[in-house]
Structure 1
Amino acid sequence: MKRYLLLAFVILLGLSLKVSLLVLNVFPFNADEAVVGLMARHILAGEKPIFFYGQAYMGSLDAFLVAFFFKAFGQSVFGIRLVQVILYLLTILTGFWVGYQFFGSFRAGLIATLLLAIPPVNTTLYTTVSLGGYGEALLIGNLILITTFYLLKYSEASSEISFRVSKSGGEADTEVNRASGMRTFRLGSHSVILWLLWGFLCGFGLWVNGLTMVYSVPAGIGILLRTFRIKNLRIITWRITLVLVGLLVGSFPWWFFAFQNGLGSLIHELFGAAVAVEREPFWLRTINHMVYFVVLGLPAAIGLRPPWDVFWLGLPLIPFTLLLWGKIFWDWIRSPRSFQVKVIEGVIFTFILGFVFTSFGVDPSGRYFLPVWLVLSLMGGKVLDEWGKKKPAYLSLAGLIALFNLWGNLQCTASNPPGLTTQFYAPARVDMGDMPEVIQYLRENGELRGYTNYWVAYPLAFLTHEEIIFSPRFPYHPDLRYTRRDDRYPLYTQMVEESDKVALITTRNPALDQKLRSLLQERKILWNEKQIGDFVIYYNLSNPIRIVDFEKLFIQTDSAQ
């Protein structure tokens, strides 16, 4: 009982960190989070989106969960984040379960839980602010690992297995012949459920967020290797059939969308079409991704820097933290590891392959690195537990890592704006603290329709309950690159195009301001202008302008970056 009370206390620490940061309001509300909220609102109105608006590699599960909370507690930014907090608490709890089962040590699981409860800034950020399915991906990943553990455990129980179905048809038996003697156990309904569940989780994860493949791929390889060692075709066929059934059921929304829109485009999205901005040869891109991983991504994952900028966090503790992680990793490599534990290593290996060889490697900001901290926490739990068996004082080193992580969180909290922001692209990092004044000014002047960029349009729509609708057809890049992918909900653009009165809003983009002023003068359109913080508002236009009037001013691209 004392052990589980200690576990509850550690989880409570994680909850306290989340609640404190939310109360301090250090997470700016941005467009990706607003899209989740808008999707949830539309779900309550009867829509059934399959994927995140405009990005067919993240399913709409997050929006459906938010819709449930909106129904229960009302529509607010807090409701969106409450879902993420609950998901991460479940991730911490299942993370303990993974450590406890894979390493056979309560203390190893507890140390991993502490590191998950007080994580680096990167993990704190992306498990509090919603981007459409990353919190769900972490939880599903843990469930895949847990299910994998039990399946591998059963597979390791024997070297020779024979299979038969009882005459009643109600249960399947296996006879296990070990060197130590004969032992019989049943693969009845509970085993069928396990194989179906594993397939379902992998398929469901594929729809929810493709990031779950870093769990399902190594887990699947591990299970296949164990299964094919049985050398019994009927058992192999039985298991593969169950997995495929579960996989198809779990990924049904994914296949349904593929049937409607084409499988090729969906796979293209799954492997990074939304961020495919690189034009270099493949080999050069691969080298660049390796550099991004080592120089930018990994430091963000372990808390050396925030994901949105390049400066040191917890500088006085960095040398000690790096030495500690280096020693943990060295001892992990040198220690004997079971086949199940190697599946955990496979998560990191699969992630590195995916990051280096797909278009996602162009973005080392940090959100894709969330599974890395889970694996590092598990590694830390295992190694520190071993050290603690030799000298209990070594267990305090887990506290050093947690202290370093906490320092980084507090350091970023003290610098607000930007606070803990998901906006890693500096030119688009708008101070959203001025948004209430912008909304009030638009209402006072009757400007309820218009054009702006992606980072303004969707927060504006959500915060005004879709009273004020602006189409995201302006670029936010200083070089005026624009992609139609920013137009995630075309109905808004249709509403703006049909309006007789439109306003324009730009943010931190002098080149765009110059182009728009020249266009208005060329069209002999009179206007008033107001600057509020980072926002420049063009209003009271004597004649409305349309997309066809200004679209040729921008550089069109296919990527969302």
Structure 2
Amino acid sequence: MRLTKKRLRQTDLFVFALIFVATLLRLALIYFHWPVTNSDEGNMGLLARHVAYNGEWPIFFYGLPYMGPVEGYIAAPLFHLFGPSTFTLRLGLLLFFFLFLICMYYLTRLLFTQWMAVFIVVLFCFGSDDIISRQVKAVGEYPELLFFAAFISCVAVWLVLSSSSTDRQKRTTLGRIFIYGMLGLVAGIAIWVDFLILPFVVTAIVLLLLFRRRELLSWAGLSLVAGLLIGILPLLNYNISAPPGQNSLQVLLNLHRGASAEHIPFMRQVVGTLMIGIPNATGFTPRCPIENFPFFGTANAQCIILQGGWGIGYLILWLTATILAVFVIWRLWKGHTFLRPAWSFEERQTLMRQCCQLMLLINAMGTILLYVSSTDPAIFPEATSRYLECVLVALPVTLWPLWKGLSAWRPGENWWTATSAIVSGSLLLLLLFMFMRGTFNTLQEIPGVQTAYQQQDLMVQKLLSVGATRIYSDYWTCNRITFQSEEKIICSALDEQLNPDFDRYIKYRYIVRADPHPTYAFQQGTRDITKLDARMKHDKRFGATYRRLIFENYVIYAYAGSAA
């Protein structure tokens, strides 16, 4: 027994060392400005600035009345310590990644074996560029949501599987009451951050109702509800007084249906999910352009086979794991009443463990079904595949049939068992190879990202040098420049017809509009430039007032009376 405990401690130390190294790798990536920042991240940076320096307390991410800006509140005190920057904005997200890996390690160890838990940690130390980008980029919800999903699952499983002595006790211990409260608090905050977490919250509560009803009727249940209400308090506060049709749920339903008026074939949503969304979310690399898939362009057989096969393979593994779990549950439940079953201790433990696995599988499929039923996979499958990121929490259960097949092999076993072990091991190695390859490709992107960062910084300096502190540009430029300039430059977004576009922080629109001679800055080759060039040519007053400059792939129309 002592030897076993010693090995366990050694394995734990090894795992924590791996997690620490993986976190350092992501620290190095954000230090070298990977990935390239954008206006969504700039928006979160501006929110953090306003919390840190203006005393603002926004309930939501600017422009999205359903997404709690936890990342902005975490970055605000760091801005006071290290100054406002994209690096500082991302720094707090590393804690979510670190805690996510710890939760996944213990979740896998609770449900399966020590060595499978180690494999899962090794796997998640790597990842495709999309997976790693979502872990370190502060565009709202994704790093923290992945941790919240893992935490809720891990704690719910632990509460169910932990010592059954609590079933015979009249009072629940203070420690468990506190853990129930923390579970409720994290679940509430997660719901405030994004409703994508709902499948995990609902199934965790159902699991506790099945196996911990007595505790839920004690102070533990009250602690759970209290924590949940505290966590969602900002969400409740907004929605109680929200204008008609603008509550968070209505906004989400409108987004789920999609804003496109065109008829979208359901098969396009299926193809977008199966061949693009699931492979992107689960680490397939390298990925084909969207135009290579049916309903999105000219079908490419190789892309369909590779990415479609990956998506179908994931669903086959999910179905296999689900059948295995349901079969064991049915076999144990057969012949027992629901309220007073007569299981032995071992049977009860097996049943609870299988129900926990089924909970995670339901979470994964619930996430996928919510995604495929929306218009997102039919319109922007690559960008919106991020909505599937929580399926990674269920990956240990999805991979369990492969791990079980590999572990079943022993020297001298029959050919079928040996073949099954070889196939299972090969598929696990393929997945690990994909994740490692994705990380290697990410590291190769650093020089290009450094160049892009320098160009962005030079653009800010150029605008300031010509006195352009109030500018119009496109959405994907505006908030980025405003944040990178520390609000020395205020930008309002225009569409391709030079009409007002989506300004997440509406005050900026009025600030720029109040300037009699705002600057215009758009990328070369856009329709905005064509319209502004025509205006320079035909509007003598505009042509006399502005001068046309070209800098770093941008055309700048600066006030002629400003500094050179």
Task: Please classify the TM superposition score into its range, dividing by the shorter chain length.
Answer: 0.7 to 0.9
Q: CA deviation at 1:40?
A: 0.9
Counterpart among 100, 124, 136 of residue 116 in structure 1 = 124
Give distance in 2, aligned partners of 1:73 and 1:253: 28
Greater CA deviation, 502-511 or 127-136? 502-511
Q: CA deviation at 1:51?
A: 0.7
Q: 1:457·1:471 contact (CA, 8 Å) conserved in 2?
A: yes
Identify if the C-alpha distance between structure 1 residues 353 and 191 changes in structure 2 by more than 3 Å, giving closer, same or farther.
Answer: same
Are 2:61 and 1:52 equivalent residues in the alignment? yes
* Greater share of residues in helix: 2
Q: Deviations over 1:258-289 (max 9, x none)?
A: 123247521123345388323246xx565432
Give distance in 1, aligned partners of 2:159 and 2:183: 9
Q: 1:434·1:533 contact (CA, 8 Å) conserved in 2?
A: yes
* Greater share of residues in strand: 1
Q: 2:321·2:400 contact (CA, 8 Å) conserved in 1?
A: no
Root-mean-square deviation over aligned CA pairs: 3.7
State the partner residue of 2:70: 61
Q: CA deviation at 1:357?
A: 2.5
State the partner residue of 1:279: 261
Q: Which amino acid aligns with 1:245?
A: A
Give distance in 2, aligned partners of 1:381 and 1:96: 14
Q: CA deviation at 1:184?
A: 4.2
Counterpart among 539, 543, 548 of residue 522 in structure 1 = 539
Identify if the C-alpha distance between structure 1 residues 291 and 77 changes in structure 2 by more than 3 Å, giving closer, same or farther.
Answer: same
Q: CA deviation at 1:291?
A: 2.1
Give distance in 1, aligned partners of 2:24 and 2:223: 41
Identify if the C-alpha distance between structure 1 residues 324 and 121 changes in structure 2 by more than 3 Å, giving closer, same or farther.
Answer: same
Greater CA deviation, 410-419 or 457-466? 410-419
Q: CA deviation at 1:59?
A: 0.5
Q: Deviations over 1:406-446 (max 9, x none)?
A: 212333543578769xxxxxxxxx95542222222222221
State the partner residue of 1:350: 366
Are 2:95 and 1:86 equivalent residues in the alignment? yes
Q: Which amino acid aligns with 2:358?
A: K
Are 2:523 and 1:507 equivalent residues in the alignment? yes
Give distance in 2, aligned partners of 1:488 and 1:264: 19
Q: CA deviation at 1:399?
A: 5.0
State the partner residue of 2:387: 368
Q: Deviations over 1:321-354 (max 9, x none)?
A: 9599688557534544601111110111110221
Are 2:278 and 1:298 equivalent residues in the alignment? yes
Q: 2:321·2:397 contact (CA, 8 Å) conserved in 1?
A: no
Identify if the C-alpha distance between structure 1 residues 71 and 24 changes in structure 2 by more than 3 Å, giving closer, same or farther.
Answer: closer
Identify if the C-alpha distance between structure 1 residues 92 and 57 changes in structure 2 by more than 3 Å, giving closer, same or farther.
Answer: same
Give distance in 1, aligned partners of 2:42 and 2:287: 20
Give distance in 1, aligned partners of 2:359 and 2:525: 47
State the partner residue of 2:84: 75
Give distance in 2, aligned partners of 1:206 and 1:140: 10
Are 2:439 and 1:409 equivalent residues in the alignment? yes
Q: 1:447·1:501 contact (CA, 8 Å) conserved in 2?
A: no
Q: CA deviation at 1:528?
A: 1.4
Q: CA deviation at 1:121?
A: 2.3
State the partner residue of 1:206: 191
Superposed, 1:458-477 pairs within 5 Å as: 458-472=479-493, 474-475=494-495
Give distance in 1, aligned partners of 2:454 and 2:161: 53
Q: Which amino acid aligns with 2:390?
A: P
Give distance in 2, aligned partners of 1:536 and 1:341: 56
Greater CA deviation, 34-43 or 386-395? 386-395
Q: CA deviation at 1:74?
A: 1.9
Give distance in 1, aligned partners of 2:485 and 2:176: 51
Q: When the two structures are aligned, how many residues end up with a matched partner?
A: 497
Give distance in 1, aligned partners of 2:436 and 2:31: 16
Q: Deviations over 1:168-213 (max 9, x none)?
A: xxxxxx7x5xxxxxx5464243343343333322221111222222
State the partner residue of 2:321: 332
Give distance in 2, aligned partners of 1:97 and 1:403: 23
Q: 2:48·2:76 contact (CA, 8 Å) conserved in 1?
A: yes
Q: Which amino acid aligns with 1:463?
A: Q
Counterpart among 178, 196, 201 of residue 181 in structure 2 = 196
Identify if the C-alpha distance between structure 1 residues 525 and 254 changes in structure 2 by more than 3 Å, giving closer, same or farther.
Answer: same
Give distance in 1, aligned partners of 2:219 and 2:386: 38
State the partner residue of 1:551: none
> What TM-score, normalized by structure 2, do the two folds share?
0.77
Give distance in 2, aligned partners of 1:297 and 1:70: 35
Q: 2:317·2:401 contact (CA, 8 Å) conserved in 1?
A: no
SS state at 1:41 partner: helix
Q: Which amino acid aligns with 1:142?
A: A
Q: 1:58·1:207 contact (CA, 8 Å) conserved in 2?
A: yes
Q: 1:413·1:419 contact (CA, 8 Å) conserved in 2?
A: no
Are 2:145 and 1:101 equivalent residues in the alignment? no
State the partner residue of 1:252: 233
Q: Which amino acid aligns with 2:157?
A: F
Identify if the C-alpha distance between structure 1 residues 300 and 456 changes in structure 2 by more than 3 Å, giving closer, same or farther.
Answer: same
Are 2:55 and 1:43 equivalent residues in the alignment? no
Q: Deviations over 1:124-175 (max 9, x none)?
A: 1110111112111111111111221134336x959xxxxxxxxxxxxxxx7x
Give distance in 2, aligned partners of 1:444 and 1:274: 44
Q: Which amino acid aligns with 1:247?
A: L
Q: Deviations over 1:13-71 (max 9, x none)?
A: 42243244335544111111111111111111211111101112211211010112212
Identify if the C-alpha distance between structure 1 residues 249 and 378 changes in structure 2 by more than 3 Å, giving closer, same or farther.
Answer: same
State the partner residue of 1:440: 461
Superposed, 1:127-138 pairs within 5 Å as: 127-138=135-146
Q: Which amino acid aligns with 1:409?
A: T
Give distance in 2, aligned partners of 1:288 and 1:466: 42
State, as a whole percentage, how many aligned pairs show the same letter.
21
Counterpart among 214, 222, 240 of residue 207 in structure 2 = 222
Q: Deviations over 1:74-115 (max 9, x none)?
A: 222111222222211111111111111222x22222111111
State the partner residue of 1:424: none
State the partner residue of 1:6: 14
Q: Which amino acid aligns with 1:106?
A: Q
State the partner residue of 2:348: none
> What TM-score, normalized by structure 1, do the two folds share?
0.78
Give distance in 1, aligned partners of 2:158 and 2:210: 15
Q: CA deviation at 1:389?
A: 5.5
Give distance in 1, aligned partners of 2:171 and 2:457: 63
Q: CA deviation at 1:482?
A: 7.0
SS state at 1:99 partner: helix
Identify if the C-alpha distance between structure 1 residues 19 and 192 changes in structure 2 by more than 3 Å, giving closer, same or farther.
Answer: closer
Greater CA deviation, 369-378 or 340-349? 369-378
Identify if the C-alpha distance between structure 1 residues 204 and 25 changes in structure 2 by more than 3 Å, giving closer, same or farther.
Answer: closer
Identify if the C-alpha distance between structure 1 residues 389 and 516 changes in structure 2 by more than 3 Å, giving closer, same or farther.
Answer: same
Give distance in 2, aligned partners of 1:285 and 1:147: 41
Are 2:232 and 1:288 equivalent residues in the alignment? no
Q: 1:470·1:492 contact (CA, 8 Å) conserved in 2?
A: yes
Give distance in 1, aligned partners of 2:36 and 2:221: 46
